[in-house]
Amino acid sequence: MRKLAVFIFFLASLAGTAQKNNSLPLPTRQQLDWHEQEFYLFMHFGPNSFTNKEWGEGTEPEDIFNPGELDCRQWCRIAKESGAKGIIITAKHHDGFCLWPSKFSKHTVRESKWKDGKGDVLKELSQACREFGLRFGVYISPWDRNHPDYGTERYNSVFIGMMKELLQNYGTISELWWDGANGEGPNGKKQVYDWKRFEATVRQLSPRTLIFSDIGPDIRWVGNENGIAGDPNWNYLDTTGFKRGAGSPPLDTLNHGNYNGKLWIPAECDVSIRPGWFWHEEENAKVKTPSELFSIYLQSVGRGANLLLNVPPNNKGLISAEDEAALLGFKRMRDASFANNLLKDANIYYQFSRNDLTSQDLTIRSLDSNASAYTANLRNFIVEVPRPTKMNCIILREGIQSGQTIRKFRIVLYNGRQAVGEIKGSSVGRKRILTFATATVTSFNVYLEDALGQDNIKGISAYLVGN
């Protein structure tokens, strides 16, 4: 007990030092909550769902939008069953069609035949999300190929008016998704977006809403539409001198972040379950398989990012059976892979890196991948399982409330005294899923190297996946 008390006191003092001396950017409370969402759905829905297009022209007749069987509760039920934590809907895509009866446009559901012009997709979806305990987010493209004011200063006020409707009439908006596309409007002109006014409007009306774009300010695009985060993936980004859209940072920078970035702007990985973003009947046989989705998960969530998976409703207003089957199969794969933490009965021995404390190695028995308690400054430690165990996956979690301070790590696997494998990496972040060739392991050593001396492993677990 005396050794344990000394150890806890030592950890507490180091944790205090780490917090006090930490000059790195830190996530906000809302960003920390976002990191824990991990996986949610994107839904591209609108006139393109009926015209078989990806980018509408803005000239489509409003009556083309008529999802006779629309059921947002079905969307939310499937999202919930798949383990998704929320839904982000394309409230207005580049064609300018609004899925709500906006008073700032004449190209909306109000002008369609759907429900005799009295329908409101956002109202139905926001209510269904609340019923099923899901986050509700909206994508709103500033590009508008229909609005007559696009290409003039008046349009910036129009766009702000639309955002106010979204932020004030549909409950809490968890995430606002800005597309950086900027093409010509119906008058042949491009718009000069007033991003400062746009952002100020969101901050004033809904300060807890997180804003996504190439450069955040809260969440960044990962630089591709394949759902793949870079390795390494840093939650830091420098945005000085960059703009949204054509003036964004290089794709490689967006993919990896900046090692010494000045702002906490984590990556969100967007990808579609189909080849296209909107529903196309001819793609029903091209839905990604559960195995393909699981591979994407390992390369997005498994690299400390979040996964935004697009599942487009069909022209009836329903998630198609093919997409539902893939989503539920994906959920079963995740559940089966991570059901049994092989370290639940392990001993974890801490190795002090300071010479005067090398004789004080102690055993920690409660270091778990989902531990809520903050465990600071675990530098080099040994994990010992009670019996030879087959494994091919180790998950590390970092206490990112203190920043992303782990810059290099190495894990050596042992069967008895014989090394049977080695894993090397740099970034960890909220969750790092490391897969390797299946090996029989009795123990492994974790070596952490950090330029700032503030390593903060929050949890560790091991699994046998894909068997």
At 302-335, the pLDDT tens digits run 999 999 999 999 999 999 999 999 999 999 999 9
Q: How high is the pLDDT of residue 20?
A: 38
Asked if 92 contacts 140 with a C-beta cutoff of 8 angstroms, the reply is yes
Query: Architecture of 29-337 per CATH?
Result: Alpha-Beta Barrel (3.20)
- CA max distance for the chain: 78
Beta strands in 279-366 (DSSP E): 306-310, 347-351, 363-364
Token pair belonging to 421: 């494998």
Q: How high is the pLDDT of residue 347?
A: 87
Q: Minimal CA–CA distance to 236: which of 376, 424, 400? A: 400
Asked if 65 contacts 279 with a C-beta cutoff of 8 angstroms, the reply is no
Token pair belonging to 426: 């740099």
Asked if 173 contacts 129 with a C-beta cutoff of 8 angstroms, the reply is no
As a whole number of angstroms, the distance between CA 216 and CA 209 comes to: 12
Query: DSSP readout, 287-301?
Result: PPPHHHHHHHHHTTT
Angle between helices 153-169 and 121-132 (to 10 degrees): 40
**Exposed/middle/buried for residue 423 (C-beta within 10 Å: 0-12, 13-18, 19+):** middle
Q: How high is the pLDDT of residue 379?
A: 63
CA angle 394, 395, 401 (to 5 degrees): 155
Q: What are phi and psi of 411, to 5 degrees?
A: -125, 125
Beta strands in 302-407 (DSSP E): 306-310, 347-351, 363-364, 380-398
Place of tokens 């967006």: 254
Q: How high is the pLDDT of residue 451?
A: 61
As a whole number of angstroms, the distance between CA 330 and CA 18 comes to: 39
Hey, where are the domains in the chain?
29-337, 340-463
Task: Identify the H or E element spanning 137.
Answer: strand 135-140
pLDDT less than 70: residues of the chain: 1-22, 350-379, 451-455, 467
Displacement of CA 214 from its chain's centroid (Å):
14
Q: Minimal CA–CA distance to 431: which of 392, 466, 465, 457? A: 457
Q: Is the dihedral of CA 365, 370, 373, 376 positive or negative?
A: positive
CB count in 10 Å sphere of residue 206? 19
**Exposed/middle/buried for residue 67 (C-beta within 10 Å: 0-12, 13-18, 19+):** buried
Q: Minimal CA–CA distance to 320: which of 37, 43, 95? A: 43
Q: How high is the pLDDT of residue 370?
A: 45
As a whole number of angstroms, the distance between CA 347 and CA 383 comes to: 6
Within 210-320, residue ranges assigned H as helices are 251-256, 290-298
For domain 340-463, which CATH number applies: 3.90.228.20, 2.60.120.10, 2.60.120.260, 3.30.470.20? Answer: 2.60.120.260
